[in-house]
Amino acid sequence: MDCIIHRKAEFSASHRYWLPELSEEENQKLFGLCSRFPGHGHNYVLFVSLAGELDQYGMVQNLSYVKKIIKQEITSQLDYSHLNDTWPEFKETLPTTENIARIIWQKLAPHLPLVQIQLLENPHLWAEYQGENMEATLTVQTHFSAAHRLALPQLTLEQNSEIYGKCARTHGHGHNYHLEVSVAGKIDPRTGMLVDLGVLQKVINDYVVEPFDHTFLNKDIAYFAEVVPTAENIAVHIAQLLQEPIAKIGGELDKVKLIESPNNSCEIFCRQTVRNSAINQQREAVLV
């Protein structure tokens, strides 16, 4: 029986998005505030995921060894560094979150049975890499507040209450929704960007956050006049809204996760077959 384990590590580092072959104006247009000299910093959080069969000691890998390798190959080199000057790979491709995750994979792969690297630049932005050449996933987290009522119009209040409980009450109720949008694509070999982050954030804001925020979904969003706005249906509709505009900026919508409350959330996998196939191939490669 195979098992996946996860090891967390942290490092603090600065970086700058700047291409010397471009003018200052071109760098500012491409990278915005991230092009400022001498750069800016983050407290990065790293999750290293490993797969394998349990050994006689009940472990996939000895965690003391895993900790030692991560420190030796990654954190001791990156912590309190300026990333652009730390590894030669960042001279070729800028140290964006997605590209840092890719290079970390390359550094650790000779030592550990990896299945995924997840790197959080901050709590609202992270990248995942699974060893697929230049392909990675970038996730943006945002939020909106909205009210809804769960009820089918053809049913009585009593019937709806049997199905939806308190959520069927006549005047509805509200949530502070947290939304995670994951986009897959190839990392640009020079800029290190999967998609332009500023443009991606604008797409999410224009198509979802602004239209949904501070609304009564059943009455203010036309789609939910006919569809009950459960968390699942809201997530499905968000995925429908985002697929085409994300494709236009060069990415592919991978996943939409909607967190309705600390106890309730749902995920829509928009390219589940591709994603699961990649993970399974990694497992097979590790376990052979």
Q: Phi first, then psi: what are they for 63, rounded to 5°? A: -65, -25
Annotated catalytic residue within 89, 111, 124, 167: 167
Cβ pair 187, 194 in contact under 8 A: yes
> What is the Cα–Cα distance from 43 to 57, expressed in whole angstroms?
34
Active site residue 260: yes
| Residue appearing with tokens 């790197």 | 119
Report the distance separating Cα 206 and Cα 201, nearest Å. Answer: 9
The answer to whether the beta carbons of residues 5 and 61 sit under 8 Å apart is yes
Q: Which of 92, 214, 244, 284 is catalytic?
A: 214
Query: Does the active-site annotation cover 42?
Result: no
Residues forming a β-bridge with 139: 126, 182
Place of tokens 């009593």: 158
CB 142, CB 209: distance < 8 Å:
yes
DSSP category for residue 187: P
User: Per the residue annotation, which of 42, 121, 260, 270 is the catalytic one?
Assistant: 260
* CA neighbor of 113 nearest in space, from 131, 133, 137: 131
Concerning whether 135 is annotated as a catalytic residue, the answer is no
Annotated catalytic residues are 167, 214, 260
